[in-house]
Amino acid sequence: MASTTQLPTAPSPLPAPVTTRRRPQKLGRSRPNFLGGLGGWLWLAVIIVPVYYVVITSLKNQAGFFTSNPMLPPAEPTLDNYKLVLENDFAKYFTNSLIVTVGSVVPALFVAFMAAYAIVRGKGRFLSWTNNVFLLGLAIPLHATIIPIYWMITKAHMYDTLLALILPSIAFAIPVSVLILSNFMRDVPNELFESMRLDGCSDWAMMWRLALPMTKPAVITVGIYNALHVWNGFLFPLILTQSPDTRVLPLSLWTFQGEFSVNIPAVLASVVLATLPLLVIYIVARRQLLSGLTAGFSK
Amino acid sequence: MSSTTTSPQRALGVEHAPGTRRTLEKGPSGWLAVPALAFFMLFAILPLLGVLFLSFTRWDGLGEIKLDGLSSWNTVLADPVTGNALLVTAKIMFFSFIVQAPISLLLGVFTAASQKYRAALAVLYFVPLLLSSAAVAIAFKALLDPNFGLGPGLGLPFLAQDWLGNSDLVLFVVVFVIAWQFVPFHTLIYQGGVRQIPASLYEAAQIDGAGRVQQFFNITLPQLKYTMITSSTLMVVGSLAYFDLVFVLTAGGPGYSTRLLPLHMYLTGFKANDMGAASALGVILVVIGLALALFLQRLGGKNRNASQLEGA
């Protein structure tokens, strides 16, 4: 990151006889890479064709869908399908998704941040054991636990409530959040903590006044990562909710598909509508969203 | 810094007040980690033990839970569908790895370069990341329709197959759709990895006259070793979690041809109402996941962070 165009520090014995023939050029790839370019455009086709198909089909009326060429845009585009989806409680499912996402991500970030702070700054057997529990949690396919979770949720009379989705989602977001936040927190110079300590700051104050501002990008990144997972989550809603009142967006796509199976354009309009919020975020804040997606896996 | 007020301690030869000193050594209280730990224990570790317990019971999901010894295990292990689910899982794991890994690696290298058109392509490459698995599955179900999908649209008869109804083809269709959804994520990981390779390595190689292919094999690939391990681990362990996509796309069918282990667990528990057997399948899933993660971790070597610094 820092040393992209640094000059070689060691004196090179041969001051590049190569430059006699070539003009000094921007380092990187010299000739255009035709094969790579071809592959790149090919993959673009693989990605774009399904997206294109979904969008144009969602604008067709049902008769047009059955008669026109599937890969051509509709002669008379219509928004009726979108109207149908919106009339079928789309706003309610959207709100449910929003409540579950915010309700899971904010508490998860809060407790994970405190845990990461304690693990990085603290000592002792308990904290290292805690850290190992979270690391173990990363390796376990956690959805194998859906049956006991279903059991617990029904026992606690929370079946078919939004809280039933929120509680396990918080728990499942914690290991990866703690791991990434503690990775970033280790980079905060120790001297800063010590000087604040000398000024008489408590750990609680240092956590919010020093550690949080210094790791804010990581907190945002982890927040986005978790939010995407909860927003697009399907398994918990499938097993823990039932009624339309608690339905979230991904599940609504599935039930909508069941109810309107003949009306493919309307089903695809629901896909577009459900993706639209994330697409807007992608357009507005692409960098943050993408760095949130890999959430420090490439750090 | 703040020595004006601490002169009494100075005189005693102590830097800070004794109390402060002690907390400095001890660091923050472990209580800060308790809320996160409690949540995780309650909704992840406890259920993990619960799945083991329930595998020794008989329960239809509504009534009473009755201890039933090993009968669920006997059912699950004697059922040929379990073996089939394991086989389907292994196949999908294998094929999606050999499809996704090279494509993501090459696309990661491709998009990490500085050309403008590549940056523009990358913006579009990442669009699948925005879609939920349910959305992807529904989109492909329509697209792969032999009458109203891609095949008739492009006028290519070989694309107008009953992709999701043909038990010989459907596995590869699932692998393709999984790749479509997850390659962008791994591309992103590789792109980040490639961007961390010091440019000086390429400069040196260019001075030595190394061509593009040589640079790829002698610099890019070795430097990406740890990125590859991360991405491969996520790919392999992640393939135990392909539930929602396959559930909406094929529901495990036709027949049992795409009934993956997690899907088999769900259908056994919530459709056949045999929670005991489903829990036994859950235990198998946990064991396989743990074994794979540990194996891949071992493969990658223990001292990852140290050697990574050495490489850069």
- Tell me the pLDDT tens digit for each residue of A158-184: 999 999 999 999 999 999 899 889 888
Q: Residue-wise pLDDT tens for chain B (312 aa)?
A: 443 443 343 434 334 444 444 444 557 788 888 899 999 999 888 999 999 999 998 888 888 888 888 888 988 898 899 999 999 999 999 999 999 999 999 999 998 888 888 888 888 998 998 899 999 999 999 888 887 877 777 777 777 777 888 888 899 999 999 999 999 999 988 988 888 888 888 888 888 888 888 888 988 888 888 888 888 888 888 888 888 899 999 988 788 999 999 999 999 999 988 899 999 999 999 999 888 888 887 776 544 443 333 332
d(CA A106, CA A112): 10
pLDDT at B26: 59
Tokens encoding B89: 């899982």
Is residue B281 within 8 A of residue B82, CB to CB? The reply is yes
pLDDT at residue A210 greater than cutoff 70: yes
Q: Between residues 178 and 197 of chain A, which touch chain B (CB distance below 8 Å)?
A: 178, 194-195, 197
Q: Is B40 on the interface with A (CB under 8 A)?
A: yes
Distance from A287 to chain B by nearest Cα, in Å? Answer: 10
Q: Check CB contact under 8 Å for A119 and B33.
A: yes
Give the C-alpha distances (Å, rounded to integers) separating A16 from A279, B21, B206, B211, B212: 49, 58, 10, 17, 19
Q: Check CB contact under 8 Å for B212 and A29.
A: yes
Q: Check CB contact under 8 Å for B275 and A53.
A: no
pLDDT at B251: 87
Q: What is the mean pLDDT of residues A197-206?
A: 85
Q: Is A271 on the interface with B (CB under 8 A)?
A: yes
Closest chain B residue by Cα to residue A44: B125
Tokens encoding B34: 């308790």
pLDDT at A296: 60
Q: Please name the residues in contact with A21: beta carbons below 8 A apart, sequence gap of 6 or more.
A: none
Closest chain A residue by Cα to residue B109: A36
Kindly report, residue by residue over A29-72, the tens digit of the pLDDT. Answer: 456 788 888 888 999 999 999 999 999 989 888 877 888 888 88
- Separation of CA A93 from chain center: 19
Closest chain B residue by Cα to residue A231: B132
pLDDT at B211: 83
- Separation of CA B150 from chain center: 29
Residue B208 identity = D
Average pLDDT, chain A: 83
- ∠ CA(B232), CA(B238), CA(B242), 5° rounding? 140
Kindly report, residue by residue over A102-113, the tens digit of the pLDDT. Answer: 999 999 999 999
Is residue B261 within 8 A of residue B240, CB to CB? The reply is yes
DSSP β-bridge partners for residue B57: B67
Q: Could you check whether the bond before residue A32 is cis, i.e. omega within 30 degrees of 0?
A: no
d(CA A97, CA A246): 9
Q: Collapsing DSSP states into helix, strand and coil, what is residue B294?
A: helix
d(CA A173, CA A168): 9
Q: Please name the residues in contact with A190: beta carbons below 8 A apart, sequence gap of 6 or more.
A: none
Q: What is the mean pLDDT of residues A117-126?
A: 87
pLDDT at A31: 66
Give the C-alpha distances (Å, rounded to integers) separating A296 from A168, A176, A185, B95, B112: 23, 10, 13, 27, 17
Q: Between residues 230 and 259 of chain A, which touch chain B (CB distance below 8 Å)?
A: 231-235, 238-239, 249-251, 253-254, 257
pLDDT at residue A189 greater than cutoff 90: no
Q: Is B12 on the interface with A (CB under 8 A)?
A: no
Give the C-alpha distances (Å, rounded to integers) separating B200 from A124, A298, B197: 42, 20, 9
The burial class, CB within 10 Å (0-12 / 13-18 / 19+), for B178 is buried
Distance from A143 to chain B by nearest Cα, in Å? Answer: 7
Q: Collapsing DSSP states into helix, strand and coil, what is residue B66?
A: strand
pLDDT at residue A271 greater than cutoff 50: yes
Q: Cβ contacts (< 8 Å) between A145 and chain B: which residues? A: 44, 47-48, 50-51, 282
Q: Is A200 on the interface with B (CB under 8 A)?
A: yes
Is residue B265 within 8 A of residue B43, CB to CB? The reply is no
pLDDT at B25: 52
- Separation of CA A274 from chain center: 15
**For residue B67, which phi and psi values (nearest 5 degrees)?**
-65, 140
Tokens encoding A232: 């697009």
d(CA B280, CA A297): 32
- Listing DSSP states for A13-52 in one string gives SS--GGGGTSPP--SS--S--HHHHHHHHHHHHHHHHHHH
pLDDT at A167: 94
d(CA A235, CA B272): 17
* Chain A interface, best mutation among B40, B143, B232, by max A CB count within 10 A: B40
Closest chain A residue by Cα to residue B238: A141
pLDDT at A281: 86
Tokens encoding A100: 């579950």
Is residue B169 within 8 A of residue B151, CB to CB? The reply is no
The CA radius of gyration of chain A, in Å to the nearest whole number, is 26
